[in-house]
Structure 1
Amino acid sequence: MKKCQEVDERILLTFVGYLLSIGTMIISNHLQENDQKNKIQSKAQEELADLNAQLKEFENNLRPKNMNAYIGQKKVVRQLKLIIDSANIRSVLPEHIMFYGQPGLGKTTLASLISNELGAHLKTIAAPALQKSGDVVSLLINMEPNTILLLMKFIDSKHLWKR
């Protein structure tokens, strides 16, 4: 009887060892699969970031670098040149300039050109990032000197004024 118990215990221990080995292999394979998935995901994110950087560079290469290179909106460009020249003579940034219109008309490009011409930093903020009117105040208080602020779709975002 004792020998039978010892044999049963050995068989049981062997079986448990076998199960542990199988479990270890399954966990190891799972970890390797997760590691491979993470590597693939990480590589995809890097490639996406690289493509976004290339797209931004491509867009920047298409944009004019100064007001003289801007095509279209002749009346607006002429008025902006006067504002820029006046601001440069006085060594101050213009108080307020508001652009409005449909997407693709050059509002952001003009804002970028103004900042380039004035040697100022352009800070672009999308209106949805501003959750309440206090966010606007905080943004203005914390602005660096010599910074031009571009609020995108600010007037259309009436939700800001309800709070």
Structure 2
Amino acid sequence: MNQPPQPSPDSARLFLALLPDAAVLEALAVHRDQWQWPAKVTRYAPADWHVTLHFIGSVARSRLEELRAALALPITPFALGWGRPELWPHGLAVLCPEVVPEALQRLHTQLGQALQPLGLRTDPRPFRPHFTLARHAQAARLPAQWPVFNWPVAGYALMESTGQAGQRYRVLQSYGPAV
């Protein structure tokens, strides 16, 4: 199994994400349990579920305060409607929103623009918000019924990938009232 690279003590592997509340985690767990999973699948734990806004990568810890300040942007709350399970290439099982609200696309764009003056690259591919439910799921079967639920989003977070199985991600900074 591929392990993410271990960060050095002087740097952190960072990303920006939307973090689901308890109600969304419960709805995702119900949905996950309706899939038919192959034996070798690697399912994500609810504590790991998030929607990545931007992967930042390795950043010197000495820059964290600068980054925290630069990413403090106002957010227009929005509702994100979920309900489209998909199997993506390379065995990813994901749940996608029905549509990407304009407020989410705007937040993604503004955060990307905030990263650029800091010399931090953003992914040039189109933004495809999703929850990753499992890896190595090429042979998984989608559920017969798809979930339909709304998630009111009013915040985002600066996250660190720890490289540890027990706590894969850690919140470094929350932005907005709901995070």
- Specify which structure has the higher proportion of strand: 2
Q: TM-score, normalised by structure 1?
A: 0.20
- Specify which structure has the higher proportion of helix: 1
Q: TM-score, normalised by structure 2?
A: 0.19
Larger RCO: Structure 1 or Structure 2 (Cα < 8 Å, ≥ 6 residues apart)? 2
Larger Rg: 1
